[in-house]
Amino acid sequence: MSRQKIVVVGNGMVGHHFVEALANSGAAVDITVIGEEPRPAYDRVHLSDVFAGRAPEALALADRDTYKSWGVEAHFGDPVVTIERNKQEVVTGLGRRFAYDKLVLATGSYPFVPPVPGHEHKRCLTYRTIDDLGEIKARAKDSNIGVVVGGGLLGLECANALQNLGLETHVVEFAPGLMGVQLDEGGSRMLRRKIEALGVTIHTSKNTKNIGKGDNCALKMEFADDSELETDMIVFSAGIRPRDNLARDFDLAVGERGGIVVDSRLLTTDQNIYCIGESALYEGRIYGLVAPGYRMAEAVASQIAGGVASFTGADMSTKLKLLGVDVGSIGDAHGRTPGSISFVFSDEREEVYKRIVTSGDGKTLLGAVLVGDCSGYDSLLQYHLNAIELPAEPQGLIAPTAGEAPTLGVAALPATATVCSCHNVTKGDIVGAIDGGGCSLEEVKSATKASTGCGGCSAMLKNLVDDELAARGVAVDKSICEHFPYTRQELYHLARVGEIKTFAAMAGAHGKGRGCDVCKPAIASIMASLWNEHILETPHVGLQDTNDTFMANMQKDGTYSIVPRVAGGEITPQKLIVLGQVAQKYDLYTKITGGQRVDLFGARLEQLPEIWRALVDAGFETGHAYGKALRTVKSCVGSTWCRYGVQDSVGMAIFIENRYKGLRAPHKIKSAVSGCTRECAEAQSKDFGVIATENGWNLYVCGNGGMKPRHADLFATDLDDQTLVQYIDRFLMFYIRTADRLQRTSTWMDNLEGGIDYLREVVIEDSLGIAAELESQMELIVGTYQCEWKTTLDDPEKLKRFRSFVNSDEADSNVVFVKEREQIRPAKPEERLRLVSAGN
């Protein structure tokens, strides 16, 4: 038999999944992909991550080289416009022709824009593609207010994006509630409450009848009830419509309200044409999620490769985080099944709503709605998907009980249980991967693809893998190094409980050997976090990294840089002058840092005490730029000067910086305080960030710039000063207690089981009963603060180490500077040779 020619129209998520499945099936086929978008398939589901800082390129699912290596011919940026069914050929916009034996339509859908007069205005946009993203970003630049039309899943996601872009955000919804498809009325109401608390204004039961020119903004929306709303831009997200025009034009059956009709083999009314993904209409239904689309793609790939797989519908359960609010919807969320009964739990104070829908006998779970707390989602989904018999009192699954909520342990799941619905991976597949030699989460992920889609299953996957590995007696070695068979967390605990205050005592009690450059600084840091003794006290001195030992940052040539603390970035002219004078006197290279302070470079070891003497005398303190410790708390100018500021951000930043200065931690800690939502201090990229609101402060946690930027999570809103500080105290101490060595808060959070919800339970609700202890530990650190440099200057014993040579006052001849832009810099090797041989 000759090779079958397969042509795929559309290179979206589902079209790509199909190509991948078929290309890897070994079938004798020649595949051609034709995509209208200018780039290969990308991850549409995570589109909004781009607003949170992810590069659009990082969303790519496919690239041209991979297609080439699979032998797939791919054309992008040229849509198919004609299907000549009798000739079995398609024609593209540029007139290219491709013959097929089987044609697969994966054309997806487009955002529905209601035909309101004025909707063509250039400030009216949609949100579906990478190109759309670019336009939204560009428009947002000269906008203050943004409206999203549509309060469904995508609309709210889009509202999140607009908020991230700093706009005053409104959602306009036609129906009386939000997310009507996935949520019942109670859930929808709770969601609204929570979203409004985040500063998004929701307008429901609004029918837009005209979009005209605004008086204060670019646009004015007029509604059927005669109310109006002014805005600078509008994004339509009022539902999707299948792209079925090829089917309409070339006489394939389409549904009454659109969608290309397919049977369970995914065949259209032409036996050589399949349709998959969001353009397919199966049993009167469009499946607007990736997982069902992937099932369709796999079924068709299997048929073409000679198999018989079919599609019989798919589960539409979803778990999402919308504007930081957890939302889950499973099966029959509205309780529409005849005879079904519902159990509802609603807590307006904590803003949690949960509902489960069971069969009349209470034995099977038909559906569920979760708003504000999705911790039970995984268990509930498994009850639902695998028809596992519910406990006798099913309400226990959602009611907050005194003890542990009864969750369904991973061990109890049948092998057929789906763990990852995006990639259709069952528990059996995962166990198989482990039996096949996978012995870490990463290996199981790459062998099965589980948890590489929407990520919704990641917590469950981790539990399952840990559980299976433990059952096989695989001990995962988490020892910090060869000297201590413990993790950093365990060492911290041992030191705290055993009141161990020195490395020697620690090694004697729990370690072996002499220690090394891994465990010594880690334990020194634990000692500092716990007991806060001066890092250069005799028992600690040999443990520190060179930067801590000399309380300065070593540069490439062995000289040091000096960073005095400038709390909140606020500095008097007099102090600036002193910095200038000191730098001038010692001829130090001077630079404004990224942390709102000044760095003086090029000091030799023996000069450090003299320089610090001058700085301390002028009122400066050490900035801990060298330590795994609190670094800077950046500020914006805030309400004192700025016309938009709503609180005194500088005052708060200085207060915070002074409170936590000297606090040593598993890694460095950075913070910032902004005076309003414009966020000029970039607080959302910090380990903890504070943004002023009309009513107080919003606290964000676990952000990161650096190598792998992470947008901070909104942790709590509208806090008063005292509560803010209380939460930060607890948060920081909990991090210090439980993080790994050299783990920033961002990676700590990414690895924290239960994530932000769990952290809130611990910090806000005190679920572990340790809040008081965390606070008093912080009080101890705050109360025992000393400027390490000041203390050192007063102690001749400590100063002894600040000599380049114990037996000579010479300077290190290897340190050679040249001038550039009127300041010194280390000479390059060739320059140094020249200068040194010329007698300097």
Ligand X SMILES: Cc1cc2nc3c(=O)[nH]c(=O)nc-3n(C[C@H](O)[C@H](O)[C@H](O)COP(=O)(O)OP(=O)(O)OC[C@H]3O[C@@H](n4cnc5c(N)ncnc54)[C@H](O)[C@@H]3O)c2cc1C
Alpha carbon 763 to its chain's center: 20
Least gap, CB of 615 to another protein (angstroms): 22
Is 642 annotated to bind a ligand? Reply is yes
Least gap, CB of 454 to ligand FES (angstroms): 3
| Spatial CA neighbour of 287 closest among 328, 336, 242 | 242
810 binds, among ligand X, ligand SRM, another protein, none (CB under 5 to 8 A by kind): another protein
396 burial level (CB within 10 Å; 0-12, 13-18, 19+): middle
Tokens of 341: 């009964």
453 binds, among ligand SRM, ligand FES, ligand X, none (CB under 5 to 8 A by kind): ligand FES
Site for another protein in 499-558 (CB under 8 A): 513-517, 519-521, 538, 541-547, 549-550, 554, 556-558
CA distances from 359 to 109, 144, 382, 591, 726 (A): 35, 49, 16, 69, 46
Residue 553 in the binding site for ligand SRM (CB under 6 A):
yes
CA distances from 730 to 665, 769, 774 (A): 13, 12, 5
Residue among 157, 599, 679, 788 that touches ligand SRM (CB under 6 A): 599
List the x/- string, 620-659, binding to ligand SRM by CB under 6 A.
Answer: -----x-----xx---------------------------
Q: Which residues bind ligand FES (CB under 6 A)?
A: 420-422, 450-457
First to last CA, the chain: 82
Least gap, CB of 683 to ligand SRM (angstroms): 11
Residue count at the site for another protein (CB under 8 A)? Answer: 36
Least gap, CB of 520 to ligand SRM (angstroms): 18
334 binds, among ligand SRM, another protein, ligand FES, none (CB under 5 to 8 A by kind): none
Site for another protein in 465-504 (CB under 8 A): 482-483
Tokens of 754: 């239960």
Q: Which is nearer to ligand X, 103 or 774 (CB)?
A: 103
Alpha carbon 668 to its chain's center: 20
List the x/- string, 57-86, binding to ligand X by CB under 6 A.
Answer: ----------------------xx------
Taking the C-alpha atoms of residue 550 and residue 541, their distance in angstroms, rounded to an integer, is 10
456 binds, among ligand FES, ligand SRM, ligand X, none (CB under 5 to 8 A by kind): ligand FES
Residue 454 in the binding site for ligand X (CB under 6 A):
yes
Taking the C-alpha atoms of residue 772 and residue 730, their distance in angstroms, rounded to an integer, is 8
DSSP conformational letter for 696: E
Taking the C-alpha atoms of residue 656 and residue 192, their distance in angstroms, rounded to an integer, is 33
Residue among 232, 278, 298, 332 that touches ligand X (CB under 6 A): 278
Q: How many CA atoms lie within 13 A of 221 on its CB side?
A: 28
Piece of the chain touching ligand SRM by CB under 6 A; list 152-160, 502-510, 608-616, 700-708: 700-708
Is 439 annotated to bind a ligand? Reply is no
CA distances from 226 to 204, 210, 216, 222, 495 (A): 14, 10, 18, 7, 68
Taking the C-alpha atoms of residue 536 and residue 538, their distance in angstroms, rounded to an integer, is 6
Least gap, CB of 414 to ligand FES (angstroms): 18
838 binds, among another protein, ligand FES, ligand SRM, none (CB under 5 to 8 A by kind): none
Residue count at the site for ligand X (CB under 6 A)? Answer: 35
Is 636 annotated to bind a ligand? Reply is yes
Site for another protein in 796-815 (CB under 8 A): 800-801, 803-808, 810, 812, 814
Q: What is the largest CA-CA distance in the chain?
A: 97
Residue 320 in the binding site for ligand X (CB under 6 A):
yes
Could you tell me what percentage of the chain is helix, strand and coil, using 3-state DSSP and rounding each to the nearest 5?
Answer: 35, 25, 45
**Amino acid at site 655:** F
At 407, which helix (H) or strand (E)?
none
Given phi > 0 = left and psi -120 to 50 = alpha, else beta, which region is 684?
Answer: alpha
Q: Which is nearer to ligand FES, 421 or 547 (CB)?
A: 421
Strand partners, 12: none
Is 680 annotated to bind a ligand? Reply is yes
Q: From the CB of residue 765, how many other CB atoms can be counted at a distance below 10 Å?
A: 10
Residue 595 in the binding site for ligand SRM (CB under 6 A):
yes
For the annotated binding site for [4Fe-4S] cluster, the residues are: 636, 642, 676, 680
Contact set with ligand SRM (CB under 6 A):
553, 555, 561, 563, 591, 593-595, 597, 599, 625, 631-632, 668, 670, 704-707, 744
Pick out the residues of the known binding site: 636, 642, 676, 680
